[in-house]
Chain A
Amino acid sequence: MKHSKHRTQGADQHPPEGENPSSGNDSARGADPVSRRRFFAKAGAAGTALALGATSTALAAKAMEDEAFQDSWNQYFQDHYQRMTKEEVTEALARLKRIAKRNFEVDLEVANDPPIENVLFGYALNISKCKGYRKCVYACVEENNITRKPHIHYIRVLEMNNGSMDLEESDHYYDPDSVPRKGKFYLPVQCHHCENPPCVRACPTKATWKEPDGIVVIDYNWCIGCHYCVVACPYWARHFNWEKPNLPEEEIVKKTHYLGNRPRMRGVMEKCTFCIQRTRKGKLPACHEACPTGARVFGNLLDPNSEISRILRDKTVFRLKEDLNTDPKFWFYTD
């Protein structure tokens, strides 16, 4: 299967040098697109409501014609992704591009690649190779246009004590002069894309669901931010935008997907999507490419000749919290 065989095909993306997730760039212009547009929406509505005289009516009319206002208005009433017609999706994608142009002054590509037939994505991670460099963590932040400050990490590398799998004893914030440390091993955890995902069951608005290729996605425009999926997830994989995402303009990755790395807004959930914008185009996830030790294997579980299928067949593998019966598609193995 192509994903696992051509490991170097996406080599144009190098792992970042600096380990500091915050670039220190001020992005006042990268302000939350929604709140600004909401201002327009409010101004427009207020103007209409008052309708005190010709001036305000004219202002309201002008606001109605304003593209930014129209975009925010239409986006607010946008239907659920799975219920939109083809035309509505095209419209929504064009709208996202216009909004990105206005807010970040970048020409965003917002793709809508459907799942590839006969593909079920799976991930395997060799914990005897992982040395805890956290290159995957930062590559993920860059690729997925994740807020830098406050920061969100989709991948969390746990520093574990040798001889135990006790997560409570793990160190999430290890910061020694050099890794790996003696007597420790490293366990990277991200969304496990469960076959039976508790987060999908929990969501009161169906804003999150499992795609046919196994990727659990979120419609960021449908999420109401109730946190119930955070509560339900046993892998702590879902992350909330407590504040407006802070994204340096010049670092925005322009190739995006509607269900993937397009810039998000305040007050909604986000999570690892197995880099849907890359993997549905036959590329590898950013964390895979960034890994300097080759600990990661990504591929199609339905293809018996893929590397991941071979690993599941021939190696001793384990999954975290298998007793919960969520059937994760993320395996750990050792040499």
Chain B
Amino acid sequence: MRAILAGLVVAAVGVAGGATTLAVGSAAQWAFVDVPSLNTFIHLANQTIGFVNERAGSEPVPLIPALGQGVGLRLSEAVGGVLRVGLQMEVASVGTRTQGTWTAEETSHPVDISLDVGFVAFAAELDLVLVPDILIVSASAGWGTSRIGYRCVFPPTLPTDWSLPFLPKAEDTTYTSAGPVGAVAVQVSLPLGPGASAGFEVGFRLAPPSVPRAGTGVLDLNADGLGDPVGFSGPWLGLAVRMEFNL
């Protein structure tokens, strides 16, 4: 086994032509996530809010924006030549919220629903330098954890003579899940000076959905008795800065 690893390292260094570089990079991301179970809950909650808005006869509560875009940051460090190996850490976050109050018969019915989704991953990275300082393709695999903060204040009785079997569950809970994560990315950059370059990065993260938990409870926002699987897969677009040092 050690011989195989040593062979791979030798091969990698050989491919690199003997020139070894330490590359340190960071990329601020505009991340797109696809979380259908959370967006289904948001759709359900919005249907409920919209239904009550039409009948409560008071100031409407704004609908909840769907979860789709967030921000992220990727930090990486890799060693090698044409082929580089290293480690990376990635964080990303998306969130949404609505706040408002229905007022009926001098009684206030406050509504405050927020969803904050965070993601952290640590991964091993393999970079292929196609055009030095300009074009790099990287792949990574590792372990990621996601955190879903669900905060909800919702009136148990609605200011209308209609009743709905689904109401957003009033609670303040943080659910977590963990699982494997993989990503591929392409960096296109321009040299800024000796060892420094900056440019764009586009990538796609694959984080299989799993059901977040909080203690013995599972995330079930749509109240169908089944857990809501949440993944963090999706593309990202980033602004990347990279520093390279010859070793």
Q: Tell me, yes or no, whether A binds B.
A: no
Q: Which residues of B contact A (CB under 8 A)?
A: none
